[in-house]
Structure 1
Amino acid sequence: MASLNNTGQLTFDMSIASNKKQPERTGDKPSLFLLDGMALVYRSFFALQRTGMTTKEGIPTGATYGFFVTLLKIYETYKPHYLAVAFDSAEKTFRHELYELYKANRPAPPEDLIAQLDLIFKLVEAMRIPVLKQPGYEADDLIGSAARKFEQDCTVYIVTPDKDLAQLVHDGVKILKPGKKQNELMLLGTGEIMEQFGVSPERFTDLLTLTGDSSDNIPGAKGIGPKTASKLLNTYGSLENVFNHLDELPPKSRKSLEEFETQRKLIEDLVTIRTDLPLDTTLLDLESEEPDGSKLFNLLDELEMKSVAARIPQIFPGIQPPRHGNTDLPNPETATPENVAYHLIGDAKGVRNLEKELSALTGFAIDTETTSLNTLEAELVGISVSWKPQEAYFIYCTPGGLSPEMVLDILKEVLENQAIVKNGQNLKYDMLVLKNYGIRLSPVGFDTMLASYVIDPEEKHNLDDLADRYLGYRTTTYSELTGSGKKAIPIHEVPVDKLTAYACQDADIALRLQATQEKILGKNTELYNLCHDIEFPLVEVLAEMEFKGISLDTGQLKRTAEIVNRQIEDLKERIYETANVSFNIDSPKQLGNILFNVLGLPAKKTTKTGYSTDVRVLEDLSLLHPVAKDVLEYRSLQKLKTTYIEALPRMLCRKTGKLHTSFNQHITATGRLSSSNPNLQNIPIRTALGKEIRKAFIPSEKSNYLLSADYSQIELRIAAEISQDPHLISAFKQGEDIHAATAKAIFDTETITDDMRRKAKEVNFGVLYGIQPYGLAQRLNITQKEAKTIIETYKSKYPGLFEALQKIINDATEKGYVATLIGRRRYISDLRSKNRNIRMAAERAAMNTPIQGTAADIIKCAMSLTAKKLHDNDMQSSMLLQVHDELVFETTPDEKKALSIIATDCMVKAAEICGLSNVPVEVEIGTGKNWLDAH
């Protein structure tokens, strides 16, 4: 029930609970869950390491939390009849006796993980879960033996992230593998194992025997990887049969297997999980029990896991928190995950009372509910605010009731008050919605989405995932609120109590996330400053740019479309003439047939549906036949036509007549801004067609100009700063043409041709990102031998640069992350990969990120500095676009000169702030009546 109180608020004391139905036990047999203890602990530790979860005393709790949440997921979802957790014993196993180097490459467990083991064992004890442990054997062997012993009586589920246990799977035994998301468990049966590994479970030990297991330091047959091994096993049916047909194999594989045969039996014994251990345990011993409530709640209190503790009564109705002690735990009478006080504001009096409360604060969390994700079309449905954890207020704007205009008229002063910071999740969206009503929501104090992005850019940053990852809290999702697909209802039709709970939840969770994230950021000054000095101030700048929009010359685009259509038709005719047949060039299948069957060109790659005709394949073929070059150009023109020339006029806002792109702060791993709807980063800069498209971007007033401010060779300057290479720094300080200087260095001549400079430019940018001779040869249309010579010469001329790039890789391999000059981090996990291609890709990312990431820091800082200067000087000029290392403004004739000075000064200062102290920065300024002329 809800009722109006004397402040005009319609109040609810409600608890946010999952409304998803959980699956019940299925089948005739009872279920037995066997948990791979240490594997789950390790997985939880590394999955949550970056969240920095600790108690107030600094005790690490991430692995404990992750392990326990997985346990609760099993109880909640599957309601197991029987359950046990297997742990390795401290003693050496029979495998160490068979092979002295078994697991010899394993590093010692991290100290923060060791510190949690005792807590995890206490947790298992409090949960009354039986433990399987036996000297001389690993958890895998105990799980294998228990599975075989009880599979006749139970359906067995093995909970593990370890692929080795796939060999135990069959109709009665399945694997539950933790997914990427916390709480996610993926069911793997025979079909899934076959699909994932290419062999059936009964052939899995054969697969491991051939490939070995690098994580356990078990060697395999030299040069035989998983793909080759699965192909051999599927061809011949078993490992034994592979060895019976060695004479049919290619020489390289035959030789490898002949050399491996002496080791074969040993490796097979090492990788085979034992299923015959004598277990004293009976099925009755493994019966699932309710936890020891007293021990469990005391332990969770010690670990400060309030949100997890609040779930216990829901999962185990017979277990209630203690009546005395931790007052933050739910009341014994309440069987809900969490007590919250969420209030609905019912009339104007309530809004005015809320405004008085907010005016007395230094900051609060805010969220808006709207009718659309498109901020230009979205109508305000309500505003929720929170300044105390587990308490929030929702103002509901209903047709015929409180109007958005009435509400915002009351709240305008507090929403725009510069002394009261606004916090929340993805605040740019809320800013843009409120701008439609003439409200400038400002200033940004904390944005949880961006804080998550700074802490780890490659994680998910939506509110539901953040609540799960940082708070262990399952939110009600929007699709659960309104339904999805054909059953979705408009937000105004959602029952008021549910909408209030949902809206208040968003503000409340954002507030609680802020507290958790601030603790993590507080431990790293660089990341804290990155948030508060660069990312948070930029939110309002981007909102202003998106709201302002940019004008388009649709007539120019129409003329460009006519040119492109003629070019496309000419290309089609040329391709048909070469093939001697008309066909659908856009069909990869038909194109593949023409290239490889009709024209007889060499096929490099195949797909499930036939020959591959991707860009890489066509680039290789273009060296052999002109038709491939024509197809590449055809595709490029078609993409530009559909993505920009035809699409841009359709994307103009009906209300403003302008194009309003979205700038995304939280997408790229390097820190770069991206743009969407449309993506302006992909308009070609140097092609004739790209120039024609840029010509269509114009000022909103005919008398005005567009001004372009572009960093000159900023990434090379950053590389010089990072490497401190004296030759590079000297060239920049003396104002040399860096590409000409490089050409002189690698070609050892003072007379530089345009072709030499072009090649030097490709080398300059290519080496920063680990380009190999093959890639450089492709770009320059030279032989790999020539490309290799150029790269080696470059290395000899700029040794400091290459030493620095190698040091970046080495440091990243040790630390697990790379950083920009001011400390932005990117975690790179594949630098130790045994797969050469994966490892090299990770090394290129490691080299790339400090340079691109520092460029991102610089341009973001420059945007905020410039926007502030324009605001402080009360200028009419405005920033419209950010693309790569360029800022685009609209300016008046009177302000053109002043803007040039301001933009240059702010961009130079931003580079200094972000770490360029030894290398000078240059900014190129241009103005014109369109973007092309300005650039």
Structure 2
Amino acid sequence: MSEQLSQPAERQKPSMFLLDGMALVFRSYYALMSARMQTQSGFPTGAIYGFINTILKIEETYRPDFLVVAFDSKEKTFRHEAFPDYKAQRPAPPTDLIQQLGKILEIVPAMGIPMLKRPGFEADDIIGTLTKKFEDRCNLFLVTPDKDFAQLVHDGVKLLKPARQNDEFLLYGAEEVKSHYGVYPEQFLDMLALMGDSSDNIPGAPGIGPKTAANLINRYGSIAKIYENLYELRPRARESLLKSKAALENGRFLMTIKTDMDIDLTLDDLKQKSPDLDFLLPLFEELEFRTLAARFKSSPEKKNEQAASDADLEFNFGANVDPNFQFAKKQPRDLGNYTLIQDEDDLNQLAEKLGSLKEFAFDTETTSLTTLDAELVGISFSFAPGEAFFVYCAESALSRETAIRVLKPILENPEIGKIGQNLKYDMLVLKNYGVRVQPVRFDTMLASYVLNPDKTHNLDDLAADHLGLETVKYADLVGKGKSEKSIYEVEPKTLSDYACQDADVALQLKNVLEKALGENEPLKKICEELEFPLVGVLADMEHEGVRLDVAVLKTLSETLGTELGRVSKIIYDAAGEAFNLDSPKQLSEILFEKLKLPAKRRTKTGYSTDVRVLEELAESFPVAKQILEYRSLQKLKSTYVDALPNLVHPKTGRIHTSFNQHIAATGRLSSSNPNLQNIPIRTEIGREIRGAFVPSDAHHTLLSADYSQIELRIAAELSGDPTMLGAFQNREDIHSTTAKLIFETDEVTKDMRRKAKEVNFGVLYGIMPFGLAQRLDISQAEAKEIISQYKEKYPMIFSYLEGILDKARASGYVETLLGRRRYIRDLNSKNFSIRSAAERAAINTPIQGTAADMIKKAMLGIASDIHKQSLRSRMILQVHDELLFNMHESEVDILPELVQREMIEAAKAIGIRNVPIEVEVGTGANWIEAH
């Protein structure tokens, strides 16, 4: 294991940190890709934010005496001149990364950090040269995720690699390089040459990977010695090396980091300057980096000085000068006026105050994120910014029972609005203690989501983005890993400050986000009339749960096991041997080396065996089709059939999925733990899984209510296409109608209807001839003709879809019928794949988002009716366009009509006027029977 870099008390030599700029930018980009960070206008910011924080992390943790960032230049290098194919296979950087790179190249020198580039050379060579130049005068740390730098490591020069799973760094000296890679630094180049590097188009010796290369180097010492002893090697390795001698020499040249560039700089030249706040602060505001802006504002003001430059070596300083400047270590925000309450008298005084308010923010502290298992440790309250109270009811003079008794009337008071972050969690925890919290006045997580669904919505990020506050994290409170302690072990005042902070920040965020919503009336209404009220409905559904017949799944597991055995045998027979079907590496070797199937795409570990590759191969090679079947069966077995019984809660005997309002950018609900949205319905086995979902007892049956072809109906409404509108108004089967039109026949076969159905729904997802051809197993020419016929018969559908794209390109966003907004970037990307994905998102969101708004509206109406009529039936699941109910036997004549009525009324309420809405209702002893 690599040791952590520590800060020595005294240094014999100053420290110099040399950063591999582009490699760290790429790492930041991919690390934050899932967060989809962007400004309100849609400009991507994840790579910028991550890169700046990497620099600040180094500054704050290690306090370097010198820090330099080296970047590659855009010009071809001496390596390209020697070998034109060098890096020829490397794809162009993503468009949204290129957009950010210009800002990064401005920010680094503005932060006062020397930044180096030189035409014809790579950042590696600049770093290698500075290493050689200053290794006798400084302790050098090479900061990069690139393993190639290990060749430079020796006494006084160490590799500092970002860890994969967190924001820490790992230090590699010579022993760590040997431990991690298998060879010492002085042998590293030979190992690299043997391995090659596909990303840089450096071949290496075929069949020799990292482990074999390290073993050979350790056995013989060098490539030269290996060639002297070729006769000792196995025939396959010997033949590979004989054919690759010239390639290895070339590869070694290409991967050697230069250390002798002409860089005439002194240590004084590399001193860090003070940041140019006049440039940085407005830019951080533009990029919506409010936390970064706040941190830089705290640094002392500096005098401006002209940046130095070099005509040959692009060399940038920050605009201000202060050689002694260091970034202040990041500190938690100043705590407000926070009060710990541990006795009943103080609690009663707080309750009296809370009872007199129109609204307040609150937050619970518990022992678990699983609501049914969570023990209540305390509740924090805030009703004025900077002021909060924490009712501590664990191991104190104040019992949990007393706290609940006093606070229950206030938390349940419908006249007092409740504010919080992810209030559903707190509501579910308090349900365990008989408290039904109401009403949801404002949920900061959902407000942030409605304002911009593609951003992150956790409390820490929201506090940073909107308040410029650095919050105390839960891990700061209890620790991590083996050192993590119980929340009961946290000192009460420390816990109080943490808990009060959450309520206080939620209240302050409410004030900011409410103002932002006030600038867009439709979004404000979506929050107040749809998302906030739905929180309580979803909490009730999650708490209720759904019963599972475990015996059904056990039988199905045995069936799947038998079927997997059958498919596996077919594959093994085709391969001529048994192997690990779940190993991509072994599968790749069997398919592409032994069976000689045409390889489609290469990865770092071998040839790809992903779904797209196998689907292409399956058209000509039955073994690929069998592997796809194996994977499908294995996924069903592991993800659902074997996993679901383990998720039945021991207290309730039911599954309690979590419904997420803030995940899907379209506005749809998603579910997790377990995800019930992805149980396949088209396959027989998928339907059998649904058959395991059953009523709670003998006095109940399941009722399913499903919107019929709702997205097509919405498309007809939004486009006004007369042909499609007419078909729905005449109660025609839309797929048969489409088949008649595009195939120009009155005799519609099942196959024609199937094709029409695929194109009907595919059009709404921006399907192309290639995609339709794959779905229907037809030629691209036939698929193109079908789409052409569709455009001719439903012209206004396509006019509407083109209109969406035009509007999105102009405004940067699309909207649902209610005005729910989603920002779409990359519509003008030069990369076809990226642009196409953005166009599909733009086309689909208004339709799918409108459907999402509709079913949410229906859920609110149904829940209200069930409550008003004191019905015993319960809504228990929402999956796509379907609602599932646990229906009591006494209400079989009431509930179906109620549900159907509210679902149809919801369509009218959100603005559907011209298309009749149909709701298919069914009942049964299990989910599949009801559906």
Q: Please tell me the TM-score bracket, short chain as reference.
A: 0.7 to 0.9
Contact 2:277 2:297 in 1 (8 A): no
- SS in structure 1 opposite 2:696? coil
Deviation string 1:605-642 (CA, Å, 9 cap, x unpaired) is: 33333333222222222222333333222222222222
Deviation string 1:835-861 (CA, Å, 9 cap, x unpaired) is: 222222222222222222222222122
d(CA) in 1 for partners of 2:753, 2:413: 55
d(CA) in 1 for partners of 2:595, 2:739: 40
In the other structure, the counterpart of 1:341 is: 337
Deviation string 1:105-161 (CA, Å, 9 cap, x unpaired) is: x9xxx9xx99xxxxx99x98xx9x7999xxxxxxx9xx99xx99x98999999999x
Contact 2:333 2:471 in 1 (8 A): no
Contact 1:34 1:156 in 2 (8 A): no
In the other structure, the counterpart of 2:90 is: none
The alignment status of 1:432 with 2:402, answered yes or no, reads: no
Contact 1:24 1:79 in 2 (8 A): no
Equivalent of 2:647, from 651, 658, 680? 651
d(CA) in 2 for partners of 1:233, 1:570: 39
In the other structure, the counterpart of 1:770 is: 766
d(CA) in 1 for partners of 2:694, 2:501: 43
Supply the RMSD in Å over aligned alpha carbons: 5.7
Structure 1: which amino acid aligns with 2:729? K
- SS in structure 2 opposite 1:682? coil
d(CA) in 2 for partners of 1:552, 1:472: 47
Contact 2:523 2:820 in 1 (8 A): yes
d(CA) in 1 for partners of 2:509, 2:925: 46
Deviation string 1:638-669 (CA, Å, 9 cap, x unpaired) is: 22222222222221111111111111111222
Equivalent of 2:201, from 231, 234, 238? 231
In the other structure, the counterpart of 2:835 is: 839
Please show how residues 532-931 of structure 1 align to structure 2 within 5 Å: 532-931=528-927
In the other structure, the counterpart of 1:418 is: 414
d(CA) in 1 for partners of 2:549, 2:771: 39
In the other structure, the counterpart of 2:84 is: none
- SS in structure 1 opposite 2:654? coil
The alignment status of 1:522 with 2:507, answered yes or no, reads: no
Structure 2: which amino acid aligns with 1:424? G
CA gap of 1:403–1:872, structure 2 versus 1, over 3 A, is same
CA gap of 1:600–1:754, structure 2 versus 1, over 3 A, is same
CA gap of 1:173–1:842, structure 2 versus 1, over 3 A, is farther
- SS in structure 1 opposite 2:361? strand
In the other structure, the counterpart of 2:119 is: none
Structure 2: which amino acid aligns with 1:497? K
CA gap of 1:787–1:515, structure 2 versus 1, over 3 A, is same
Contact 1:550 1:699 in 2 (8 A): yes
d(CA) in 1 for partners of 2:725, 2:275: 66
The structural deviation recorded for 1:560 is: 2.4
- SS in structure 1 opposite 2:705? strand
d(CA) in 1 for partners of 2:586, 2:740: 47
The structural deviation recorded for 1:34 is: 12
The alignment status of 1:356 with 2:352, answered yes or no, reads: yes
d(CA) in 2 for partners of 1:530, 1:704: 34
Select between 421-430 and 767-776 the one with higher mean Cα deviation: 767-776
Contact 1:311 1:337 in 2 (8 A): no
d(CA) in 2 for partners of 1:52, 1:777: 37
Deviation string 1:257-301 (CA, Å, 9 cap, x unpaired) is: xxxxxxxxxxxxxxxxxx99999xx9879977889999999x999
- Structure 2 residues without counterparts, runs of 5 or longer: 71-94, 116-122, 173-196, 206-260, 303-330
- SS in structure 1 opposite 2:381? strand
Contact 1:382 1:394 in 2 (8 A): yes
d(CA) in 1 for partners of 2:790, 2:549: 45
The alignment status of 1:373 with 2:393, answered yes or no, reads: no
d(CA) in 1 for partners of 2:770, 2:443: 44
The structural deviation recorded for 1:63 is: 15
CA gap of 1:22–1:457, structure 2 versus 1, over 3 A, is farther
- SS in structure 1 opposite 2:655? coil
Structure 2: which amino acid aligns with 1:740? S
Deviation string 1:399-451 (CA, Å, 9 cap, x unpaired) is: 36322222111100000001111111111110110000000011111111112
The structural deviation recorded for 1:313 is: 10
CA gap of 1:232–1:572, structure 2 versus 1, over 3 A, is closer
The structural deviation recorded for 1:554 is: 2.1
The alignment status of 1:510 with 2:485, answered yes or no, reads: no
Structure 2: which amino acid aligns with 1:583? F
Structure 2: which amino acid aligns with 1:649? P
- SS in structure 2 opposite 1:857? helix
Contact 2:294 2:468 in 1 (8 A): no
Deviation string 1:473-520 (CA, Å, 9 cap, x unpaired) is: 221211121111111111101122221111111111111121221222
Select between 388-397 and 801-810 the one with higher mean Cα deviation: 801-810
Contact 2:444 2:513 in 1 (8 A): yes
Identity %: 53
Contact 2:17 2:143 in 1 (8 A): no
- SS in structure 2 opposite 1:489? coil
d(CA) in 1 for partners of 2:884, 2:692: 14
CA gap of 1:47–1:28, structure 2 versus 1, over 3 A, is farther
d(CA) in 1 for partners of 2:203, 2:928: 60
Please show how residues 238-387 of structure 1 align to structure 2 within 5 Å: 337-387=333-383
- SS in structure 2 opposite 1:830? coil
Deviation string 1:865-910 (CA, Å, 9 cap, x unpaired) is: 2111211222111100001100001112332232222212221222
CA gap of 1:577–1:898, structure 2 versus 1, over 3 A, is same
- SS in structure 2 opposite 1:859? helix
The alignment status of 1:28 with 2:13, answered yes or no, reads: yes
The structural deviation recorded for 1:70 is: 10
d(CA) in 2 for partners of 1:697, 1:389: 47
Contact 2:198 2:604 in 1 (8 A): no
Contact 1:75 1:315 in 2 (8 A): no
CA gap of 1:688–1:776, structure 2 versus 1, over 3 A, is same
- SS in structure 1 opposite 2:917? coil
In the other structure, the counterpart of 1:257 is: none
- SS in structure 2 opposite 1:551? strand
The alignment status of 1:454 with 2:450, answered yes or no, reads: yes
d(CA) in 2 for partners of 1:664, 1:815: 28
CA gap of 1:628–1:512, structure 2 versus 1, over 3 A, is same
- Count the aligned residue pairs: 799
d(CA) in 1 for partners of 2:870, 2:798: 47
Structure 1: which amino acid aligns with 2:13? D
Contact 2:5 2:171 in 1 (8 A): no
Structure 2: which amino acid aligns with 1:28? K
Select between 457-466 and 398-407 the one with higher mean Cα deviation: 398-407
Contact 1:80 1:288 in 2 (8 A): no
In the other structure, the counterpart of 1:486 is: 482
The structural deviation recorded for 1:350 is: 1.3
Select between 634-643 and 364-373 the one with higher mean Cα deviation: 634-643
Structure 2: which amino acid aligns with 1:702? A
d(CA) in 2 for partners of 1:755, 1:24: 74
d(CA) in 2 for partners of 1:902, 1:414: 32
d(CA) in 2 for partners of 1:671, 1:306: 27
CA gap of 1:494–1:789, structure 2 versus 1, over 3 A, is same
CA gap of 1:785–1:295, structure 2 versus 1, over 3 A, is closer
CA gap of 1:605–1:28, structure 2 versus 1, over 3 A, is same
- SS in structure 1 opposite 2:778? coil
- SS in structure 2 opposite 1:354? helix
- SS in structure 1 opposite 2:201? helix
